[in-house]
Structure 1
Amino acid sequence: MRMTEETATVVAELVRLGLVGSGVTPRLTPLTGGVASDIWKVETPERCFCVKRALAKLRVAADWRAPVERNAYEVAWFETAGRIVPDAVPRLLGHAPRAGLFAMSYLDPAEYRLWKAELLAGRAKPDDAAAVGDRLVRIHADTADDSGVARRFDSDAIFHAIRLEPYLEATARAHPDVAGALMELSRATARTRRCLVHGDVSPKNIQIGPKGPVFLDAECAWFGDPAFDLAFCLNHLLLKALAVPAARQALSDSFTALATTYLGGVTWEPSAAMEARTARLLPGLFLARVDGKSPVEYLTDEADKSRVRRTARALLRRPATRLADILETWHAELKA
């Protein structure tokens, strides 16, 4: 791409970090898929890597802004999670906190399959989902009730700005009759502080590599409620059943595999309590992906959106305590 003032600033930071030689003009290729950051593939004669820079205003239709210092928490999440499950994160190469950017290894699509693309292509594999659940719960369990991690990830304001407000609270404004339930979910999530939370465990941020799933985009990192991560990921497996009808059984099996594997690794509280909190939160996130500030792009049919609304609102009024009950309720709606 042609060098602009913006990319010239990025290159200058990469030179300062020692990732690009002085006088070298690297090739920067914008990578797509995210709404919260600029991401480039950087190529020089010596190496190929990625650089990511947080945006103050996210690329969505709604006015959604978030502090750019979240970039530093993403780096910290990669460092912390990488010590627990080394193969679950990309390798960090450099960090320029004042510029709000960092560099990491480039994961070649020939070796790393984007989980979202796999699911939308109808290739839902329960083993992939179970591996995601296993790595996620290991990170949560290792950081549970760790005061040092809690101090490092004291990012309540950022998590509220980029997760609780645009998802639960914005959706509450769109649905006044269940606003009370949605606002209580936001408050309950905010006050639950147990583990290191990724905050965006979505299939678009998970690549399935030769050594298992790799988590990306941890800029929502926060020391808080692990139920948010579990519910956030399971939510996508429910939603994709509308987009890929032929894969509904495989998506259902993947939902069960992820939930079962994850709950089997819960050590910091009774597994049933963790499941109940996740089951209460899930319908709020389900509704948010239709009527919050970040609706999923693959649901465009109004009849499909109505099915999500109908199911989510019913579960918000009469909360479930078991994830299997949510799956059964969704199956009944899909068969109706």
Structure 2
Amino acid sequence: MLTPDSVIDYLVNRGILPHGGTATARPLLGGVSNEVLAVSGDGIDVVVKQALSRLRVKQEWLADPTRVLVEADALRIAGRYVPEAVPAVVDADPQQLTLTVARAPRHWADWKTQLMQGTAEPAVARLLGSTLACWHSATAARDDLPERFGTSHFEQLRIGPYYQTAAARHPDLAVTVNEFADALLADRSCLVHGDFSPKNILTDGHSAWVLDWEVAHYGSPVFDLAFLHTHLLLKAVHQPEHAAAYEQCAQAFGTSYAQTTRLPPIQPAQLAGQVGCLLLARADGKSPAEYLDPRGRQRTRALARAALTQSAGLNDLWKTLT
């Protein structure tokens, strides 16, 4: 694996940093699935990612590191349609399974940090909704993409550790959860990000980059929508004093997506059901939300059960939190 000491020579050998050029490297923290290094210096300002085969979580979670090449491919496609919403791909190395991308402006922050601090700007959510709708619409019904973007990484990183693990830990909900998982795998509609989460969004409040496309696959658009809605609900569980602001972001995101997409409308019951599965997974899957305390986890389970057993819609879930 690359380190701050070895990455400079690596970039020189890849022709990204000129011989004799000076640069410094430091690790970027926070991810569980990659080694991530920031490198800046003479004519260079990049982030270098190298995929881990075993993710940094308490339970064993293995994933094919070739997903970094899938990420590079997805970033290039996303950049073709909304170039201002993703970092430029500088290099993808199939031998060392490394991806090098442009680095965001220093004053940008990840949206998760802003949300956790109580700064919830509907304008950011609105931008994300329209951007996601453009990507989904532009890549829909493409004959060349299903084979390029299979579902194996999605199964390793989402279906298994999220849906199947949650189903195993809640046997009374297993049939329902597995049915929602099967629906995702059966739908091959468009290019799906697969990790559309606030932690993967860098923003200055006006512009935004969507990062970390390693779970990209050709699948169901409902998953990206459900993923972001889940994260906003989780923030509301954790910080109920900001729940109304998070709900405004959720509404802005959903409305903007619906107004921009050219795909058939997402059925509310399907969206709420997928959110229920993801809430259950973030309470009891292999990647539980790290900021939830025991009371928060119990409340998250209750929201999940309401969506999965009582046909509660998203508005109903928000009513219990605001």
Q: Quote the residue 2:195 is aligned against.
A: 200
Aligned counterpart in structure 2 of residue 102 of structure 1, from 99, 102, 114: 99
How far did 1:211 drift?
A: 5.5
Q: Quote the residue 2:89 is aligned against.
A: 92
Instruction: Tell me the alpha carbon deviations over residues 250-305 of structure 1, each in whole angstroms, 9 at most, x when there is no partner.
Output: 11111111111112223222x153x43222211000111111111111112x1221
Give me the identity figure in percent: 35
Aligned counterpart in structure 1 of residue 149 of structure 2, from 125, 131, 153: 153
Aligned counterpart in structure 1 of residue 28 of structure 2, from 27, 31, 38: 31
How far did 1:316 drift?
A: 1.0
- Whether 2:225 is the aligned partner of 1:230: answer yes
Letter matched to residue 144 of structure 1: A
How far did 1:25 drift?
A: 6.3
Q: Quote the residue 2:285 is aligned against.
A: 292
Q: Helix, strand or coil: the match of 2:144?
A: helix
Stretches of structure 1 that go unaligned for 5 or more consecutive residues are none
Aligned counterpart in structure 1 of residue 244 of structure 2, from 249, 258, 279: 249
Q: Quote the residue 1:327 is aligned against.
A: 315
Letter matched to residue 296 of structure 1: A
Higher helix share: 1
Question: How many Å separate the matches in 2 of 1:162 and 1:66?
Answer: 7
Question: How many Å separate the matches in 2 of 1:109 and 1:10?
Answer: 21
**Contact 2:2/2:50 (8 A) holds in 1:** no
Q: Helix, strand or coil: the match of 1:223?
A: strand
**Contact 2:130/2:261 (8 A) holds in 1:** no
Q: Quote the residue 2:130 is aligned against.
A: 134
Question: How many Å separate the matches in 1 of 2:22 and 2:59?
Answer: 36
**Contact 2:8/2:25 (8 A) holds in 1:** no
**Contact 2:54/2:62 (8 A) holds in 1:** yes
How far did 1:183 drift?
A: 1.1
- Whether 2:15 is the aligned partner of 1:18: answer yes
**Contact 2:184/2:220 (8 A) holds in 1:** yes
Letter matched to residue 101 of structure 1: T
Question: How many Å separate the matches in 1 of 2:241 and 2:306?
Answer: 26
Q: Judging changes above 3 Å, is the alpha-carbon distance between structure 1 residues 210 and 326 closer, same or farther for their aligned structure 2 residues?
A: closer
Question: How many Å separate the matches in 2 of 1:173 and 1:229?
Answer: 23
How far did 1:13 drift?
A: 3.4
Q: Quote the residue 1:315 is aligned against.
A: 307
How far did 1:109 drift?
A: 3.2
Instruction: Tell me the alpha carbon deviations over residues 109-141 of structure 1, each in whole angstroms, 9 at most, x when there is no partner.
Output: 31x121111101101011111111110010000
Q: Which runs of 4+ in 1 moved over 6 A?
A: none
**Contact 1:55/1:68 (8 A) holds in 2:** yes
**Contact 1:51/1:103 (8 A) holds in 2:** yes
1:111-130 map, 5 Å: 112-130=108-126
Letter matched to residue 292 of structure 2: L
Q: Quote the residue 1:79 is aligned against.
A: 76
Question: How many Å separate the matches in 2 of 1:157 and 1:118?
Answer: 33
1:167-246 map, 5 Å: 167-209=162-204, 212-246=207-241
Letter matched to residue 289 of structure 1: R
Aligned counterpart in structure 1 of residue 55 of structure 2, from 54, 58, 62: 58
Question: How many Å separate the matches in 1 of 2:295 and 2:18?
Answer: 55
Q: Helix, strand or coil: the match of 1:150?
A: helix
Letter matched to residue 307 of structure 1: R
**Contact 1:53/1:100 (8 A) holds in 2:** yes
Question: How many Å separate the matches in 2 of 1:232 and 1:86?
Answer: 23
**Contact 2:237/2:300 (8 A) holds in 1:** no
RMSD: 1.8
Q: Quote the residue 2:270 is aligned against.
A: 277
How far did 1:150 drift?
A: 1.9
Question: How many Å separate the matches in 1 of 2:205 and 2:261?
Answer: 26
Q: Helix, strand or coil: the match of 1:77?
A: helix
Question: How many Å separate the matches in 2 of 1:68 and 1:52?
Answer: 11
**Contact 1:41/1:48 (8 A) holds in 2:** yes
**Contact 2:200/2:210 (8 A) holds in 1:** yes
User: What is the total number of aligned residue pairs between the two structures?
Assistant: 322
